[in-house]
């Protein structure tokens, strides 16, 4: 028989979101009349917008014609879309041949982990999107757990808490490591400033490390002074890769479309350009993104598409404002709750001093029939915190807020 890949036995438990779904299902089974509302997983709920639907359906129709049919495409995506990403989203800071269009940021993070392999050191913001850590453990770059802790060996955890304005001490950036950095941040909703990112880039360059910058939520930034991409920072081309996504800006969580930027200047220690191996990997184990989805992405970057993106992200930001408002209520103040995020990000991060986040999760589910995400699921520094997602229909969000307003522990 084939032996189990032992990296998988290094994982402590199931992936966070299925674990939450399991708890929700158990609660629903025991309480069949409860009308549960999810402020848990960051999954978009609002319909695709008209300009994008038009582009998607037109492409489907083209595929039904002899002249318009296409099969496998360029693995790195349609040239037109790569050019549009380079010019519209990066204003020429990167070139189209550095853009690799994919089936989503999560999938690209997995492929990057495969690219760098099991020997690379890893650093993450703590708390962080669980894929950075779990994927590193799967590929063998991290794990097993350090005894008596919830930390994996091989990973440098860089705490990001209210005490440091959710920005890690650049001195913690290890040498020759992959440094995962997400801004706007999942789960805290914090957005790094230009000054902060400049210090991160400086640290990465001096340590020979590479930043994997996840900008999946950049479309939610409303403050014009906040950077939307790591490539707005001088020196980033020599030390950073950016992964991003159409999932949250235009509701493509199910359609699937994302991209990764690998600048030509970025090299391995032997001088090989990272883009060379990435290109090799991409064309070997990926057959390109859906040719239907790509026309939706193209439409999203046209003038009308950009307007619709703005409206859609505004809708979720308004939801976030409602959630913030309720968490500032008297009952939460009495619990000593502190609130962060939700202004340039779709997540609101609440700290409940002295409480365990899974206990808070259970209490909110039991008393309000609202699902949220326990902060501890994002890393040790997420303990005592809860992430509230603003992805939801407005009436459901308002109903959830009304229930939370009555929460007494």
Our finding on whether 111 is near ligand PGU (CB under 6 A) is no
| Angle made by CA atoms 51, 251, 103, in degrees to the nearest 5 | 105
DSSP letter, residue 93 = S
Q: Which is nearer to ligand PGU, 129 or 332 (CB)?
A: 129
User: Contacting ligand PGU (CB under 6 A), which of 7, 21, 151, 253?
Assistant: 253
Our finding on whether 132 is near ligand PGU (CB under 6 A) is no
Query: How far, in whole angstroms, is CA 394 from its chain's centroid?
Result: 22
Our finding on whether 17 is near ligand PGU (CB under 6 A) is yes
Q: Which is nearer to ligand PGU, 16 or 306 (CB)?
A: 16
Q: How far is the CB of 105 from ligand PGU (least distance, A)?
A: 4
User: Contacting ligand PGU (CB under 6 A), which of 10, 39, 42, 323?
Assistant: 42
Task: List the beta bridge partners of residue 182.
Answer: 214
Q: Which is nearer to ligand PGU, 156 or 253 (CB)?
A: 253
Using DSSP's 3-state secondary structure scheme, residue 407 falls into coil
Q: Which is nearer to ligand PGU, 245 or 319 (CB)?
A: 245
Determine phi and psi for 94, rounding to 5 degrees: -135, 165
Q: How far is the CB of 18 from ligand PGU (least distance, A)?
A: 9
Q: How far is the CB of 258 from ligand PGU (least distance, A)?
A: 4
Our finding on whether 182 is near ligand PGU (CB under 6 A) is yes
Q: How far is the CB of 107 from ligand PGU (least distance, A)?
A: 6
Closest CA to 197 of 182, 207, 178, 176: 182
Our finding on whether 379 is near ligand PGU (CB under 6 A) is no
Our finding on whether 258 is near ligand PGU (CB under 6 A) is yes
Closest CA to 115 of 243, 296, 265: 243
Our finding on whether 41 is near ligand PGU (CB under 6 A) is yes
Our finding on whether 126 is near ligand PGU (CB under 6 A) is no
Our finding on whether 245 is near ligand PGU (CB under 6 A) is yes
Of 59-67, 80-88, 98-106, 165-173, which segment contacts ligand PGU by CB under 6 A?
Answer: 98-106
- Nearest-angstrom CA–CA distance, 62 and 69: 6
Closest CA to 405 of 323, 317, 321, 320: 323
Retrieve residue 144's tokens: 């097993």
3-state SS record for 207-273 = HCCEEEEECCCHHHCCCCCCCCCHHHCCCHHHCEEEEEECHHHHCCCCCCCEEEECCCCCECCCCCE
- Nearest-angstrom CA–CA distance, 252 and 103: 10
Our finding on whether 216 is near ligand PGU (CB under 6 A) is yes
Per CB under 6 A, residues contacting ligand PGU are: 17, 41-42, 104-107, 129, 182, 186, 214, 216, 245, 247, 253, 258
């Amino acid at each position: 028989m084939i032996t189990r890949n032992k990296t998988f036995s290094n994982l402590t438990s199931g992936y966070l979101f299925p674990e939450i779904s399991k708890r929700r299902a158990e609660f629903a089974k025991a309480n069949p009349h409860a009308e549960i509302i999810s402020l848990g997983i960051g999954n978009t709920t609002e319909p695709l917008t008209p300009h994008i639907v038009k582009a998607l359906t037109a492409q489907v129709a083209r595929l039904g014609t002899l002249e318009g049919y296409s099969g496998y495409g360029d693995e790195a995506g349609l040239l037109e879309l790569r050019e549009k990403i380079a010019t519209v989203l990066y204003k020429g800071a990167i070139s189209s041949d550095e853009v690799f269009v994919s089936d989503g940021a999560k999938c690209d993070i997995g492929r990057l982990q495969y690219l760098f392999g099991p020997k690379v050191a890893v650093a993450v913001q703590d708390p962080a999107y669980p894929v950075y850590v779990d994927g590193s453990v799967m590929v063998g770059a991290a794990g097993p757990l350090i005894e008596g802790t919830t930390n994996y060996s091989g990973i440098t955890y860089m705490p990001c808490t209210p005490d440091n304005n959710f920005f890690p001490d650049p001195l913690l950036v290890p040498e020759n490591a992959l440094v995962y950095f997400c801004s706007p941040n999942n789960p805290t909703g914090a957005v790094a400033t230009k000054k902060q990112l400049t210090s991160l880039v400086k640290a990465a360059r001096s340590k020979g490390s590479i930043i994997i910058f996840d900008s999946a939520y950049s479309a939610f930034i409303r403050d014009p002074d906040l950077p939307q991409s790591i490539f707005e920072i001088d020196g980033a081309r020599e030390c950073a890769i950016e992964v991003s996504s159409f999932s949250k800006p235009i509701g493509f969580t199910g359609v699937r479309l994302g991209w990764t930027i690998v600048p030509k200047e970025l090299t391995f220690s032997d001088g090989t350009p990272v883009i060379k191996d990435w290109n090799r990997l991409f064309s070997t184990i990926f057959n390109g993104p859906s040719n239907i989805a790509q026309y939706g992405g193209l439409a999203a970057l046209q003038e009308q598409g950009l307007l619709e993106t703005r409206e859609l992200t505004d809708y979720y930001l308004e939801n976030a404002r409602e959630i913030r408002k309720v968490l500032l209520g008297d009952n939460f103040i009495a619990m000593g709750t502190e609130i962060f995020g939700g202004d340039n990000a779709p997540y609101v991060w609440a700290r409940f001093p002295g409480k365990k986040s899974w206990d808070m999760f259970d209490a909110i589910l039991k008393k309000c029939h609202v699902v949220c995400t326990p902060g501890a699921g994002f890393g040790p520094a997420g303990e005592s915190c809860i992430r509230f997602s603003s992805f939801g229909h407005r009436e459901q969000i308002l109903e959830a807020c009304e229930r939370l307003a009555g929460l007494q522990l």
